[in-house]
Every structure is written in C-alpha cells, then in structure tokens.
Amino acid sequence: MAGVNKVILVGNLGKDPEVRHLDNGIAVANFSLATTESYTNKQGERVNQTEWHNIVLWRGLADVAEKYLKKGNSIYVEGKISTRKWEDKEGNTRYSTDIIADKMTMLGSKSDNSPSNSSPVSAASDSNPSSDSGNDDLPF
C-alpha cells in the first residue's frame, strides 16, 4: 500500500523569505510560518497555541516568494513533510523538519502582498508548471 505525505497549512510568515540561488540557477526560498489554534480551557480562558513550521519553496514559487512575500503576510501552502539529518559544528546529530511546498496561495488584500505599482500573483504551483487546462472561456 502506498503512503500519503500531504500537509496543508494556513498561517502568517514569521520573517521575510530568505532566497538563494544554487549554482545551477535554481531558486530556493526558506521562511517560518506560524499557525495558531484557539481553544477554551477547563477554566473558561481563551488559549492560543502557535506552532512554527519551516517552509521551503523551490523554483518559480521561490521567485514569487522573493518578489511578493513579507513578514506577517498570510498564506496557504500545500506540500509534504521532509526530515533532514545533519551534524552540527560540535559533531552532534541534529534533525530538521521542513514543509516542502508545491503549492502556495497568498491570502489577504492585494496591498498586503504586492509591492507598489505591480500586479500580484495570487496563486502559484510548482507541481507541473507546463500544464495549462485551456479553460479560458470559464464564466467566472
């Protein structure tokens, strides 16, 4: 039986994306994303619980992130969980869990996500950038 590794998050950027370009020209963006859940505890107090996620965007999504995303922006991401094993400077084994996003949609108003005098990209996907459904005559 095949497994499923699918993550869907809606949250706010904890910092501006850090974008770098590999030797082969491929862009990669990294940033933290905060997701917050609210609940009422037994004492009747409202409690907010925030989780922080490391997000990685590649290629075209990284370019969109570099151009439009800023700390505090609200976004929707879909992707998969990936855990890396590495050694720190002292030789200790460390683990990092990242969300490798293959879809991203900017939420909120256009002014929240776009630099002045440009039109924002509201959604992007790296899953298959060459596919085009050709449904340009949709009624909406």
Question: Do the domain assignments include residue 132?
Answer: no
Which domain covers residue 15, as residue numbers?
7-116
Predicted TM-score (pTM) above 0.95: no
CATH number at residue 12: 2.40.50.140
The dihedral region occupied by 44, where left means phi > 0, alpha psi between -120 and 50, and beta the remainder, is left
Question: Do the domain assignments include residue 64?
Answer: yes
Q: Is the model more confident about 108 or about 38?
A: 38
Question: Do the domain assignments include residue 78?
Answer: yes
Domain count within the chain: 1
Question: Do the domain assignments include residue 122?
Answer: no
Say if residue 135's pLDDT is above 90: no
DSSP the chain: ------EEEEEEESS--EEEE-TTS-EEEEEEEEEEEEEE-TTS-EEEEEEEEEEEEEHHHHHHHHHH--TT-EEEEEEEEEEEEEE-TTS-EEEEEEEEEEEEEE-S-HHHH--TTSPPP-EEE-S-TT-----TT---
Q: What is the pLDDT of residues 71-125, one digit of tens each?
A: 999 999 999 999 999 899 999 999 999 999 999 999 986 655 555 433 344 445 5
Question: Do the domain assignments include residue 127?
Answer: no
